[in-house]
């Protein structure tokens, strides 16, 4: 999602975790925040998170993604790029 405001020359971005059971999506202002990490960790072993980034926004730094991925994997949650992503 993209906000209309700009900070330091970058549009404000939010990260959305869409749940598979059609419950309310979880929205985070910071990628890899403790809140995001806790929510992903609570998904349960065997869960899969598909990462789908918009091509017109700056990508999340590789180190940030790898840190969140490792935290999820400790709880049995795997990460994959969205198969439909471009």
Reported residue count of the chain is 86
Give me the pLDDT at residue 64, please. 87
What are the boundaries of each domain within the chain? 2-81
Q: What is the pLDDT of residues 25-73, one digit of tens each?
A: 888 888 889 999 999 988 889 999 888 876 666 677 788 888 989 999 9
State how far the Cα of 7 lies from the Cα of 78, in Å rounded to an integer: 32
Give the ranges where 1-86 is alpha helix by DSSP (H). 34-41, 62-74
Sign of the CA dihedral with 48 first, then 69, 84, and 20 last = positive
In this prediction, residues 16-32 reach a mean pLDDT of 85
User: Is this prediction's pTM over 0.75?
Assistant: no
User: In this predicted structure, what is the pLDDT of residue 35?
Assistant: 92
């Amino acid at each position: 999602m993209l906000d209309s405001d700009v900070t330091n020359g970058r549009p404000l971005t939010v990260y959305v975790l869409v749940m598979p059971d059609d419950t309310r999506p979880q929205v985070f202002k910071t990628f890899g925040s403790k809140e995001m990490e806790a929510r992903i960790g609570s998904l349960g072993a065997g869960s899969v998170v598909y990462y789908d980034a918009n091509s017109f926004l700056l990508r999340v730094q590789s180190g940030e993604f790898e840190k969140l991925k490792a935290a999820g994997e400790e709880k049995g949650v795997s990460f994959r790029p969205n198969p439909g992503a471009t």
